[in-house]
Amino acid sequence: MSLCWIKAGWCGHETSIDTGKRNMAIMVFTIESTCPHVRRMHSRFKEINIGEELTRKIAETKTFKAASKYIPCIGCPVPSAILKCVEAVSGSYQEADSMIKFLHFYPD
């Protein structure tokens, strides 16, 4: 139903998330990634209850709990991308690109 591609920042890792629905309530997804941490997380986290995920606070989502267990970089965009996929698959939100881009960097 959705295919999402993420290129992380300084680490340079790339990840794709391919999503679908097992039924009306469950989003299933596959992840292909050059990041070993994302791959390890995905080996134990492959489906999400859409309604539960969309009604939780961000730190209480299954996505962020899994990410905090397996991904050491707090700035990793993959967990946010998974949640964007949940939104799109739910039909409540349009698929729309997100971007973080540094326009200026001022070292100390």
Task: Classify residue 103: in a domain, yes or no.
Answer: no
Q: What is the pLDDT of residues 36-53, one digit of tens each?
A: 999 999 999 999 999 999
Q: What is the pLDDT of residues 77-102, one digit of tens each?
A: 999 999 999 999 998 888 888 888 88
Give DSSP secondary structure letters for 34-102.
S-HHHHHHHHT--EEEHHHHHTS-GGGSHHHHHHHHH---TT-SHHHHHHHHHHHHHTSS---------
Task: Classify residue 98: in a domain, yes or no.
Answer: no
Q: What is the CATH number of the domain that holds 73?
A: 3.90.1010
Of the two residues 68 and 97, the one the predictor is more confident about is 68
